[in-house]
Structure formats: structure tokens, C-alpha cells
Structure 1
Amino acid sequence: MTFFTTLAFVTVAIFVEFSAGVVIFDDSVGLERQFDGIGGLSGGGATSKLLVNYPEKQRDEILDYLFKPNFGASLQILKVEIGGDAQSTDGTESSHMHNSWEENYERGYEWWLMLEAKKRNPNIKLYGLPWTFPGWVGAGTRSPYTNPVQTATYILKWVQGAKKYYNLTLDFIGVWNERNYDITYIKTLRKVLDDNGLSNVRMVAADGGWGIAKDMLKDSELARAIDYIGTHYPGTLTTTASMQTGKQLWSSEDFSTFNDNVGGGCWARILNQNYVNGFMTSTISWNLIASYYQALPFFRDGLMTAVEPWSGNYVVQSPIWITAHTTQFTEIGWKYLRHGAGVGKLETGGSYVGLVSPDGKDLTIVIETMSHDHSLCIRPALPPYNVNATTVDIEFKGSFASLSALNVWYSKPSFGAEADVFFEKQKTLPIVNGKASLKLNPDEIYTLTTLEVGEKGAFDTVPPPSKPFPLPYTDDFEVYREQEEPFNLVPQVGCFEVHNTSDPTHRQVMRQVVLTAPIAWCPINLDYPITIGGNSNWTDIYAEVDVRLGGVNGTKGVFLAARVDKGGCDAFSSTGIFLYVFPQTKSYILSNDLARTSVITSGELGEVEADWNKVSLMVKGTVASGMLNGNSLFNHTVPSSPTSGFVGLGTDSWGLADFDNLKITSVQDRLHELHHMKKEDTKLYFVPGGH
């Protein structure tokens, strides 16, 4: 830093070098807590949805960047959502038990993801946590704690199913994400797991705040049931009560920040300072990979981004290499050095942690000097602080006194015109008589290690270029396995799965299968099942789909929509152009919103087929036109807002409904198609115009 002073009317610049003091790494004074690993979270919800149908080559590359040891992020924990049929942030994830009378372990993609993680790293730890529950679990109360044994058994079956059908052993289980915990239920879940030979499955609670620590101090049985106290977005700080429990402390969900270089800076700072400030021995990123549509909540808040399965394009962002600074040079079971003897804050800003292998032979040091404005996380607010350049003097004591050099890995994300530097191997740091020095500038990350491993993984070819969602788009649902979700449609309320039918003209269909309202995670109940897909920037669009209402447990109506503008917990307030058809009452409603509070027009359907009916909707400018089975229903002016959005399909209430032969195309292509039809046939179709 430069200070200016005036002497005898002469301005003199005085250069002052800041000192970080002496940083000591010494294992002779003993070690502190066990390191429990760095992880990523798939779920909460549907955050890995688009990854599933990536081309195999690019999908394998993405998975390698996430899980392959000594290659990319080299994650040590994979946390997944236990699907509960309800919206949990960016979509819904299917339950293994939609209803109390059935079980199915083919649904969803978390099983597949856990298998792929284990394939790459057999030592990765698996952690399951519910956000929502099927309605039957709460026996009509929308609370999972009404019948603790029933809910605990529901979770037990998921853990058992993972082992029985996939040979996956769950290491950790949670209670209910970011919602009230129930002491009786926690004790019941522990007993149910133990009684079924699953005492090895350790419990993390309560995946919210630190409050459960006070209850643990008052209740020894509760304290015995909980192995790790997990909190979310702690801002690197803990509480006195949590420390007094003597339990390992985790930031069991953190980060949730746009994954540009500032997001990478956030991740670098909290990976160190969660332990430096809060003694947290594990940090888990929400989310693992941003693989959900733009315009859904928290877009790109993942360790990397993969949102175009149709093109194969993906982007490896800074958090991947920030993670590698810790994970490629440690393992679960290592131990932190003591505060003041290898863990602490630098006087000039930044932090450092030292970790030691179980046999005491290896040492890894991670240093970060991320400045305030370049390491802001989405939450909580970050108090101001300064980081200054320094040369830090390092002393090695205890068994480290004989070290002669350490391997060095370096990152410096760019916040200007200069190029990024991520995870580069540097010259070794020489150590003479137990002493070394290291020049530190703001916004740097260093790993100093005795280990010879480490690789900045890369592939021979770059990812394919980005492309928009393909049009025309069709899906007859014939290529999927039973109860699989269609690839590019993302359920926001309800669950939409492929099912076989006995109808030779509609062999496989997409079916909305949730019969009753689930136990919600969102603060408001979402009671209009909807799945969306395509491009949030679509304005003028044509869509058609065959629909059939269910018999027993059927819904009353279905809809086809364009310009759907919202998802997540805001799905209920979605606006767009929604065409609801009610075959049983032979009526339709055209609405400007999902909830039908802004009806544009309504009318009679006319001739309705007893089984399947084709619904069509075209929106061009401020005119919408609808059809049923080729017969015009309306040609009506619609609001100009929203101007763009997804195509959506859904039902007007909980219950079964089938969809088939989805087609989406541009208005221009649809009009071109109509133009080539026989003149006598075109009178059956609509041409956008007035009322």
C-alpha cells in the first residue's frame, strides 16, 4: 500500500509492506477435529434433471469433472434428495412410494447419479435427505410427524431399496430439509434404522439452523441419535451450544451462489473459513451441478453448468478448481491442525488450514486471500474486511520440521482484463531449517502439500458449441423405460412419468401420477400439476398434444400452455397462455395464469372423443388460437404479458391424466405446414387474427 505525506511542500510516497506475521504449522501440540469431506448436493430439487439425457461422451466427462479422484472437483460426499413428489426448488423429484400400497425404485435419477459417483470413486460417501413427502405419509395433515413410525419406515424403505436394487450403502441420513424438526421422530428414525441392521447409517440433523444443539444438551437420548449437527448457510460461524455438544459440525448446505469468479471466490473463502471460524468439518455445495433451465430459480448456482443436453455443451466453472485445492490433497479421516498451530486467519486478510493424514506422514495446507467484493456468497451478508499483499513467513515444527519442500498448486481468478489462472502446478516451495516464505496477493488460492498427486483434468476435445432448444420438437414417449421421466420436460408440480398402455395406437404415454397433495416444502401449497420444457425466451409458438383423462383416480381437466414464465415455488403464480380443456363437461377455459384467476375467455368444446383428444394451441403476438381434434375453439386477443416463456402441460387437479405425441414448433413453421395442406382441409385450422 502507498501512503502520501507532505514534507516542506514536497510530496513523498512512502511504500509500506504489510506483515502477516509468522504462520506456524506444528503437530507436536496435538491435532483437532477430523476432516469429514467436501461434497455436492443433487436435489432440492431437480437440479440434475437435464444431465440425465446428455450424450454419453459429454455426460461421462461431466461426471469425471465432478467425481473422478485427482481429476476435477474430486468430491468426497454426494448428497441427494429423497424424492417426495413435490416442488423443492427447481422441480419435483419422484418418490419411491407415490402411494402407501406400492414401491418402485426405478423412478428418478438420483439412483443413477449415486451409481455413477461410486463407479468413479468407490470411497465417496452418500447422504440422503427429504425435502417433501407424499401426502399419504402425513395421513392428510401435510406434516411428516403425524405418525413417526410410518414416516421412519418410509425413509427406511428408501435406504433398503438403495442397497437391494443398486448395492448402494447410504452413509448419512437427514430429517427434513430446512423445516421444523421433531424430537420424537428423530429418535424413532434412529430406532427404526437400528432395528433393521442399519446402525451404520449415521444421522445428520437438522439441516437448518443450529437450534437443535440446545435440545441435544437437554436430551441425552436425542444427542445419542444424532451423529453430526448440520446447518445451512452459517456464514462460517457456529454457536456456543453446538460446540458444547462435542459433535462434529457440518455446513450441510452452503454456497448457492452464481458460479462466476465471484462465486468461486465465495466457495474458496467458506471452504477454509467454515473451519477457521466455525470448526465445521464438512461443507456441501448446493448444488452439485446447475443442470436445470435458465429462468428457473437460482440459475447457475452449481459447481459447474450443463443445461443443453440437445447440444452436449457444458461449462467447467471456477468452483470445480477451487474444490480441487482441498479435495485432491486430502481424504475423509485426515485431521485439522490446531488453531494457532496450522489453522487461522492471516493478519493481512485471508485464512489458512493445515490437514494431516491419519499416519501423520502427509501435510496439506490451503491458503486463500479472497477479497470481500470478490468472495460474496448469496447468503448471509458478509461484514467488510480488507486483504493486502504480503510476504508470509512460515515455520514448520514437530514432525514437519524436517520438510525440505512442498508441492504448490495455485489459482487466481480474474476480475479484470488478465486471464484466469486455475489450479496450476508451480515450482516447489523450498523449506530451509524449517522455514519458508510465500508472497501472497489478494484473490489467490494456494495448496502446499507433501503429496505428489494432483491433476487439472481435461479431455482431448472441447464440449460442443451451445445451441438453442431444437425446433420442431416432438416426443411420442416410446423410447423411455417404464416410469422414467421424459427427458426435456421438467415437472414443477406433480410427477409426470412414462407408462405402458394396452392401446396399440398409444403404446407409451406420459402420465401425471400424483393423486393427493404432497407434504409441501414450498411455503404455499401448489395444487396444479405442471411440467414445462423448451426455452424461456419463446414468444410465438405452436404446440399440440394428445390427452386422455384417467378413469379411477382421474383428474377433471388438462391444459396445454405457452409463455409459462415461472417455476419453482413460484409455479403457482405462473402467468402465460393456458388452455384448459374439460372433456367430461365439454368445456374449455383460456386463462392468463395457471391458477385461472385471470380468465381470458371460455366456451364449449363441441364434439369430444370418448378416449383420446388432440389439443392444439398457437400464440402469435397478442392473439391465441386453440383447437380440439382439428376443430377451432377460439381465435382471441390475449394479454401481451408475459412476452415469453416455456411450453407447459398439466392437469387442473391431482389425479391421473395421459399425454402423448407432443409437438412443438415455431409459428412460422406451423403456418408453412398449413399452407401446404389441401385447401379444403385448411378451413379446419385457424389463422391468427382478431376475436
Structure 2
Amino acid sequence: MRRSLTRPRPFTAAVVSLLLSTLTGLAVPAQAAPAPAAPSTAITVDGTKPGLTFDGVGAISGGGGNSRLLADYPEPQRGQLLDYLFKPGYGADLQLLKLEIGGDTNSTDGAEPSIEHSAGTVDCNQGYEWWLAEQAKARNPDLRIAALSWGAPGWIDGGSGTFWSQDTIDYLMNWMGCAAQHHLTVDYLGGWNERGYDKAWYENLKKTLTAKGWTGTKVVAADSDWTVADAMNLDPAFKNAVDIVGVHYPCGYLGSYTSCPSTPVAQGLGKPLWASENGSEDADTGAPAVARAINRDYLDGRMTGFFNWPVIAALYPNLSFSTDGMSIANQPWSGHYSIGSTTWVTAHTTQFTAPGWHYIDAASGYLAGNRANGSYVTLKSTDNRNYSTVVETLDATAAQTAAFTVTGGLSTGQVHVWSTDLTSTDPANWFVHQQDVTPANGKYTLTLQPGHVYTVSTTTGQGRGTASPPPAAPLNLPYADSFDTPAATTSPAYFTDMNGAFQTVACGGGRSGTCLRQMAPTTPIRWTDEPYNAPYTIIGDGGWSNYTVTADTMFEQSGTVELLGRVNQQGRNNNGLNAYHLRVSDTGAWSLDKSDTSWTWTTLAKGTTAALGTGRWHTVALTLQDATLTATVDGATVGTATDRSFTNGQAGLGVTGYRTEQFDNFALTPGTPSAHTGPITSALPGKCVDAAANSAADGTRVQLWDCTNAPAQQWTWANGTLTHNGACLDVTGQGTLNGTLVELWSCNGGSNQQWLPQPNGSVKSAQSGRCLDDPGATTANGTQLIIWDCNGGANQRWQLP
């Protein structure tokens, strides 16, 4: 009987591996599993499909004081910054601009002046918002203007503090008249920022706008939350008075903005829905959140308008939101600025669309149906020819593809692909014209990398501005301002008001020329809730240490004026200030006081000198030399105090109540430099700041090391700088991003070499407002130090020499 033969079974890869390893003693790698297919999304861009009307992407100037320093920039840097904000095809290309209607009261990081400090006296040239809007419209005539109040002058409703009054509507109509004088059309007008709503007031506002002839101005309510939609749904008169439902932070306050819902009731109103304030994010690190929100506001909540807060961080680094906006511009004296990546993620929508375009809902959604892969929205032009698709892959972890099919009358011609790589800190990788693609039979496919924003568009005319700033530099002393030389606005150069309104006017008290006057005579209707809300204005460089601040002062009425020195960190929404104050009353009473970031006051010295009286000019001076504070009135020392709380900071002027006092001949003269040498110790036990290999060469690592008191750990603190063997502690490349390395470099006076010690032990970079940081609170020797958002952690607290 023949044995049947069968074909032997082939060895599997595992069997081969086992045999080879047995025979040779060598391990053979297992065969890799096939890589999973990249996610793919089919996007049909059909011009016949419906979608809501796009109202635009813009930003907010105000809420408050965030644009203040922009007007004081020199040319050409001022024009460059304005171009990066408003010039089409250059930068952010903003389509909307919301202005704060000033109320003489702090509205976050400063106070915007009112046009009507006293009832019936209207001055349409107050402040800098008119100037900004004029500059914006000159660059983009199609820009749309919105306006909103945060506070209001104190005379409203007889001084009752009631915003929802006829006086407020009358005040807004005066403001609208001022806008017309500046040849500005106000397209949108709101009520009271984040303070709810009064239905009858909004109905009256709408009627008054119509009666005054401003029928084209749409009413926005209530710049708060979605409850206004519920009220509109139940009240036809209220609903008819409101044209647009504006809600703040629909994606949540701060955070990553991954989900941006509205409500069914709001969507059922048939009114445009807006994210009328978003942002509050850093100009660079906040860019991913802003990019998500611009897309997802529409996808999740059917919102068709987006406002970023603020438009620009043109404010001092000691203020709470000092790096938020499209760009950072806090050195008008040097002209230095930095353009944030938020500018470029905004440009991915604004440079490729226009208000009046329509979304295509069928060509908008989440990649591969999963929000973790990213989002995309498509908009088409009003003539149904051009289209733009904005894609973000910020949460994706791998490459994916998008297959486009174009139909329905839209152009099937060449598309232009622009990209921003937000995984990169190199600006050269932001807003790059990546490629042009010619569809085949209306079809094309793109590969999308994670961490990117893309725009695919048939439009042309886009561009990336090329202007670059000069290096940062300190504002050197001596410095003086007689207030006789006109500034860019009614505020003197570099002064920024924190409460009240300090304006240059004709001098009183028999003095010729121009003086500085606090204009608000009564406590305004406030937006912030700080326990101390008296008017004051600050100026200058946070690196100043030893100096004398001097000013002539004249009491128009009985009261107290103050000079401020070593103005350091301000509490959020003006809820405190690290500073020294010399206060002098018309009665001759004086005091040297210290305040902190919770407005806790400490009187260091006090006394009485001859009465100053009213209507007469006197000279007051505050000298800060190391730990000694000296008060002088009319050239005579009236008292001294000793305190070591604050080592550096700006100067300022103030009035302890809402009174109209005057100042003149402001001057800052340098004191005697002082230097202290020794180690910089960390709050992490046993750790010190160390110069690698005790070198002073450019680029030397500045690192954490066990404290040994070795020469490499000897630092000199003087006039806002920290030096080792003559080289300065330096933020690499004048960087402002979280994680930028710190090193030694030849001293050059740049603000990236200026450091601001804080009372809690943290040390801020004067340029970025970020703190000297031991990354991850590691204790490993050799860890290179960086800058990072200030958080008060032990890894950010240092004892200087």
C-alpha cells in the first residue's frame, strides 16, 4: 500500500525565529505589525450646499488699557505693528475691531478715558481708541467697528451707580456722535460688558438709535452668557430689540478651547450668534486654543463672529494680562515688539475670507469624524466662485489625509496651501505658503501633519509681513516730561492710567503752558471690584531701582496727591499693587506708605509740614535709595523711612480720591548705583544658580547645581541686571516663549537682560513678564534654567545676593 504524500506546512516567522535562535544563539527580531492606515477624510466642497453667513474674525481694544502704549511707539515701528494687525494680506488682517467706550474706571489692565467726565461737557478727542480705529480703517476700509462699555462716568443717573439708565443711553449717543466726527461708522453696539442685561434698557437703546438715524447699527446683547437667549425667546419685544446674541468664552475661560457649544434655544432664535469675547490667551502659547475656537465656535455652536481679547499686548509687563493678544509691544521707547503666533493662526481665516461669505456646512466638521483628529470649516465667496477651507490638526498624533472634491459651481482651478506648524517655536514655520495644487477633475488629496493649521484656498493676495523690530533696550534715566510737548494722544507719552483719567490741559494756578490733570471728578460706575479704586497713572521701566521722582503739584480742591515709586507687580484687575507711595495733603499732612498686591497698606512714616493750600504750586519728591525712602516738599526733607520690600519698579502719579488735581514738571533722576555679590539660592533646598565651568563666554549655560559657594555661583545684582564675571544673565535670542533657555551673554542693555525681583521671591524677565524657572522643579545638577509663566512655585523662587 502506497503512503500518501502531503505538502509540508511552511514555517511561520515565529518558528523560523525560534529555530535560528536555537541553532545560532542569536535573537531574531519579530516581524513588525503593519502600520495602521492614516485617518482619511473625504471633503466634498459643494457650492450649492447651505451654511450660515460669516460675520468675521476680530479683536478687542479695551477692557482695558491693553492698546495704550501702541500710540507712543515711534515710526516706523508703530506703522509696522498697525500693519500686522489690520493691513490686508500682511498679518492678522482683522475684519472686526471692538472698541471700549471709556468710563474713567479700571476695566482689567487699565482705565479708558471717558468723552464726558462731567455731564454736558463732551470732548471727542479723549483717549486713543479713536486714533486706533482711524488707523485700522485707513488700512482696511472694509473693517467693521463694534463698541461696548465696561464702565461709565460717575455722573450717570445722578451718581447712583446705575448703568441701566436713560443717562447711559444719552451718553452712548454722544459717543456715537463723536465716532461720526472721526468719520467712523459704528456697525455694532453693546450694553455693559459681562454684567447681564436689562430688557427695557435694550429696547430703549434700539428705539433711540433708530430715532437718531443710526438705523444701520446693530444691537448686541448681552456680552455675558447664554441666558440672554432664554430671555429673548420669552419676550418678543426684547428679541426684536437685539440683532445679535453675543456670548463670552463659549469654549470656557482659558484652557484649550476644544469644545465650543451654544444652546438649542439660542440657535432657534434665528439671530446671528457670536463669540463676542474669546482669548485671554498668551500671544504665542495661546495660539492653538484660538485656532481651535475660530473653527469650533461654528461647528459646535453655530457662531459666526469671533473676537479675540485683546487686540495687542501694548501694556507694561507688571500687569496681569501683559502677554495676551496678537502681538506684544511694551517698549515704545526702544521700538521693540514681537509678533505672536496668534497673529498667524488668525490669518489662516481672515486672509482667505471676508464677512458676508457663507459657510458650507457639508464641507465642515471633524476630521475622520473624531474631534481628536482636528477640525475643518469651509467658506465660499458671495459670487459662489472662490472657497477656502481652514483645517486644524492641533490634537492629532499622526499624519492623516484629506481628499477634496469640488463641485457646485465653485472654482476647480489651482488651490494654494498655507500652513503654520505650532509644534515649532521658530516663526519661520508660521504662515508659510506650502504648495500649490492643481485638482484633477475637481479632486485632490492633501497630507495633514499633526500640530498644524492649514488653509486651502482658491483666493490669492495673501502675504506674510517682513518688518522686524529693533532690539529691546531699557528706558534710561534721567527722564523728564514738562507736559508741554504734545503727545500722540491726550495722555502724556508712556503714562498709562489705572483708574481715573490723566489728561494734558492748560495749567491752572497762574502757571502758563500745559499740565497734567486728573479729569474724573466723581467715582465712576465701576467694572472691577478692587477695594482701593483711586486714580493713579504709571510710567516707565520696571528695571529702575535707585532714583528720585519729582513733580510740581497744585491742589484745585482740598485733597491728597501722591508720587509712586518702585511700582512693581499689580494684582489682577487692579486688586493691589506692590509700590511705595509718598502722599501729601493740602493741609501739609504727609506719609510714606507701602501697598501690596491685595491693597494692604503699611504706613512707614508720617508727619505734618506747612499747609500747601489750594490754587498754589508746590514741588514734591520721593527718593528711593537702596532701603531708604526720603520725602521732600518744596526742597526740604520732611521725613524718611527704611524698607526692603521692593527693590525696583516704575514711577507714577496719583490722587487719593476722585478729585481734579494738577501736576507739572515730572522728572526722574538716577540715584547712586548699588551692587550686591553672592550666590543666588533656590527655594528648592540646597540648590543654587551656577555658570557652567565658571565661564563668562557668550552662550554659557546658566544651570542649577548643589550650593558650594564656588566662584561659578557668585553673581552680582545691580540696577536690574544679574552678572557673572561681567557677563549678563540673558534670555536666549530675546525669546518670550515658555521654555526659552537662559544663558550668559555680553551685557548690551536689552530688556532680555533686565530682571524684576518680586516680593514672593520670583524673578521676572522685564521683556516677557515670565519668570526665571527651574524646569519641572528638577533637582538634577546641570539643569539649564528657562523662563516660564509665573506661578509662585518653589522652582521659581530665588534669594538674590
TM-score when scaled to structure 2?
0.76
Is there any run of 5+ residues in structure 1 with no aligned partner, and where? 372-385, 671-691
Equivalent of 1:27 in 40, 43, 46: 46
SS of 2:195's equivalent in the other structure is coil
Aligned AA for 2:171?
Y
Q: Aligned runs of 1:679-690 on 2, under 5 Å? A: none
Q: After superposition, where does 1:438-587 map in structure 2 within 5 Å?
A: 438-459=446-467, 462-480=468-486, 484-501=490-507, 505-524=511-530, 526-550=532-556, 554-567=557-570, 570-571=573-574, 573-583=576-586, 585-587=587-589
- 1:209 aligns to what? 225
Partner of 1:674: none
Shift in Å, 1:203: 0.9
Asked if 1:291 is matched to 2:301, the reply is no
CA distance in 1, matches of 2:296, 2:184: 32
Post-superposition Cα deviations, 1:602-644, rounded to whole Å, max 9, x if no partner, equal 1122474761111111112221111111101112212x22333
Is 1:412 aligned with 2:418? no
Which structure is richer in relative contact order (CA contacts within 8 A, separation 6 or more)?
A: 1
% identical aligned pairs:
34
Q: Is the Cα–Cα contact under 8 Å of residues 625 and 672 in structure 2 kept in the other structure?
A: no
- Identify the match of residue 422 of structure 1 among 430, 433, 437: 430
Counterparts of 1:63-102 in structure 2, within 5 Å, are 63-102=82-121
Q: Is the 8 A contact 1:409 1:426 kept in 2?
A: yes
Q: Does 1:155 align with 2:172?
A: yes
* Among 269, 277, 281, the residue aligned to 1:253: 277
Using the alignment, how far apart are the partners of 1:238 and 1:85 within structure 2?
33
Aligned residues: 638
What letter is aligned with 1:196?
A: K
Could you tell me which residue of structure 1 aligns to residue 196 of structure 2?
Answer: 180
Alignment partner, residue 7 of structure 2: none
Instruction: Tell me how large the CA RMSD over aligned residues is.
Output: 2.3
Give me the whole-angstrom Cα distance separating, in 1, the residues matched to 2:234 and 2:167: 26
Matched, 1:665 2:669: yes
Q: Structure 1 residues 415, 22: closer, same or farther in 2, change over 3 A?
A: closer
Q: Is the 8 A contact 2:95 2:354 kept in 1?
A: yes
What letter corresponds to residue 308 of structure 2 in structure 1? S
Equivalent pair of 2:86/2:139 in contact (CA under 8 Å): yes
After TM superposition, give the deviation of residue 503 of structure 1 in Å.
5.8
> Matched residues in 2 for 1:607 and 1:257: separation?
49
Deviation of the 1:427 alpha carbon = 2.4
Please name the residue that 2:726 is paired with: none
Cα gap change, 1:20 to 1:221, in 2 (>3 Å): farther
2:268 corresponds to which letter in structure 1? Answer: Q
Alpha-carbon contact 1:562-1:578 (below 8 Å) kept = yes
Q: Deviations over 1:542-576 (max 9, x none)?
A: 111111111xxx25111112122344755353232
Give the alignment partner of residue 392 of structure 2, picking from 346, 360, 368: 368
* Cα deviation 1:489-530 (Å, max 9, x = unaligned): 111111111111266755211011111110000023543211
| Cross-structure match for 2:770 | none
Give the 3 Å change call, closer, same or farther, for CA 274–478 of structure 1 in structure 2: same
Could you tell me how far apart the structure 1 residues matched to 2:212 and 2:427 are? 55
**One of 256, 262, 265 as aligned partner of 1:241:** 265
Q: Which residue is equivalent to 1:592? A: 594
Aligned equivalents of 1:36 and 1:562: distance in 2?
Answer: 46
The CA deviation at 1:593 is 2.1
Spell out, residue by residue over 1:423-448, the C-alpha distance to the aligned partner (whole angstroms, 9 max, x if none): 22232123223322111111111111
Note if 1:389 corresponds to 2:399. yes
How far 1:404 moved relative to its partner? 4.2
| In 2, Cα distance between equivalents of 1:272 and 1:580 | 52
Q: In structure 2, do the counterparts of structure 1 residues 419 and 581 end up closer, same or farther at CA, with 3 Å as the change threshold?
A: closer
Tell me how far apart the structure 2 counterparts of residues 342 and 593 of structure 1 sit (CA, whole Å). 53
What is the aligned partner in structure 1 of residue 618 from structure 2? 613
SS at structure 2 position matched to 1:184: helix
The answer to whether the 8 A contact 1:18-1:388 is kept is no
Letter in 1 for 2:663: F
Shift of 1:369: 0.6
Distance 1:170 1:607, change over 3 A: closer
Q: For 1:44-123, what aligned pairs fall within 5 Å after superposition?
A: 44-123=63-142
Tell me the equivalent position of 2:412: 403
Looking at structure 1, the residues matched to 376 and 519 of structure 2 have their Cα atoms a distance apart, in angstroms, of 51
Structure 1 letter corresponding to 2:399 = A
The TM-score, its normalising length taken from structure 1, stands at 0.88
CA distance in 2, matches of 1:172, 1:607: 52
Which position in structure 1 is the counterpart of 2:734?
none
d(CA) in 1 for partners of 2:532 and 2:589?
24
Aligned pairs (5 A) from 1:631-670: 631-638=636-643, 640-668=644-672
How far apart are the structure 2 equivalents of 1:254 and 1:405?
A: 34
TM-aligned CA deviation for residue 23 of structure 1:
2.3
Tell me, in whole angstroms, the C-alpha distance in 2 between the residues paired with 1:482 and 1:66. 19
Whether the 8 Å CA contact 1:276–1:345 is kept in 2: the answer is no
For the 8 Å contact 2:400–2:447, the answer to whether it is kept is yes
Matched letter for residue 594 of structure 2: N
Q: Does 1:310 pair with 2:314? A: no
Letter in 2 for 1:587: A
Corresponding residue number in structure 2 for 1:190 = 206
Which residue identity lines up with residue 179 of structure 1 in the other structure? R
Give the whole-Å Cα distance in 1 for the aligned partners of 2:626 and 2:41: 68
C-alpha distance in 1 between matches for 2:489 and 2:312: 24
SS at match of 2:348: helix
The AA in structure 2 aligned to 1:130 is S
Task: Check 1:447–1:556 CA distance in 2 against 1; reply closer, same or farther (3 A cut).
Answer: same
CA contact (8 A) 2:115 2:126 kept: yes
For structure 1, which segment, 526-535 or 352-361, has the greater mean C-alpha deviation from structure 2 after superposition? Answer: 526-535
Matches within 5 A, 1:124-135: 124-135=143-154
Offset at 1:345?
A: 3.9
**3-state SS, counterpart of residue 276 of structure 2:** strand
Are 1:341 and 2:363 matched, yes or no?
yes
Q: Hey, what's the Cα distance between the residues in 2 that align with 1:527 and 1:454?
A: 46
Question: Secondary structure of the equivalent of 1:277?
Answer: helix
Structure 1 stretch 604-613 or stretch 286-295: which is displaced more? 604-613
Distance 1:15 1:307, change over 3 A: farther
